[in-house]
Amino acid sequence: MPVTYQVKDNVALLTLDRPEKRNAITTKMALRIRDLCEEVNRDDEVRCLVITGSGGQAFCAGTDVGSLDEFQTPWQLRRRPAYTDYVRGVEKCVIAAVNGYAFGGGLELALSCDIRIASRQASFAAPEVKLGWIGGGGMAALLTHSIGPSNAAFMLCTGDPVDADRALRWGLVSEVLPAGDLIGRALDIARTIASRPPIATQVAKLNLRAAHHLTVDDAIRYERDLQTLTFYTEDAEEGRRAFQEKRPGVFRGR
């Protein structure tokens, strides 16, 4: 199966491993991603997930266009396995290490992650319009939230690629690094997140998601409720004790 998965130091690394096809995703790969995302949610030892592509040329070129022939009716296409939904369903923080092309569904995959960093060779595009359709994995909503309506319209309506420097200026990615430093940096960020109290990081992610959809007043009320819940966890008590005792906290997710 051209999707590899490994866990070390409370960090899971999921690699799309089909470099000869620019890591384009087949239906079987989508189902494998679903299973691995469910495993990340179940496994308390995993506190952060990094997603990348193999081969150095592409992060992910999206859905394998040839695999779309499997769907004989519009309803079958509508109900196809949606790997972007599976990634957005991960309860823990997800980092995209974009090492090359992130086109079509590959861009949606990166947008479905919470943090995105990129190599200098990375480029991003929503090219579906050139083929006569549009993205269906959250492209417009996620792009608009990420880079604003004008920049999103530029990408959606031209289908042309955006390089890593422009992606950084637009806020599509948080950092741009030399290719050789990308995975190391992604894993460093992941290990930092994994060292934090896991309930707090997962609740922080919930809070961010809610902030996209609620009014400001509702979002603040929701945040205050979440703060109250996290404040009385064992991890929060340990955090306060560790701060007073000037030592690193030991967090168990309770």
250 found inside a domain: no
CATH code (residue 225): 1.10.12
In this structure, are 169 and 226 located in the same domain?
A: no
**Catalytic one among 45, 128, 175, 238?**
128
Range(s) of the domain holding residue 183:
3-194
In this structure, are 116 and 17 located in the same domain?
A: yes
What does pLDDT average to over the chain?
91
Answer yes or no: 45 catalytic.
no
**Catalytic one among 108, 223, 234, 238?**
108
Model pLDDT, residue 234 = 83
Total structural domains within the chain: 2
Q: Are 49 and 112 in contact (CB under 8 A)?
A: no
Mean pLDDT lowest among 42-46, 125-129, 237-241: 237-241
Torsion sign, CA atoms 73, 75, 78, 82: negative
Model pLDDT, residue 16 = 97
In this structure, are 212 and 89 located in the same domain?
A: no
| pTM, to two decimals | 0.92
21 found inside a domain: yes
Answer yes or no: 234 catalytic.
no
Instruction: Dump pLDDT digits (tens) for 2-18.
Output: 999 999 999 999 999 99
Which one, of 117, 112, 167, lies nearest residue 138 by Cα?
Answer: 112
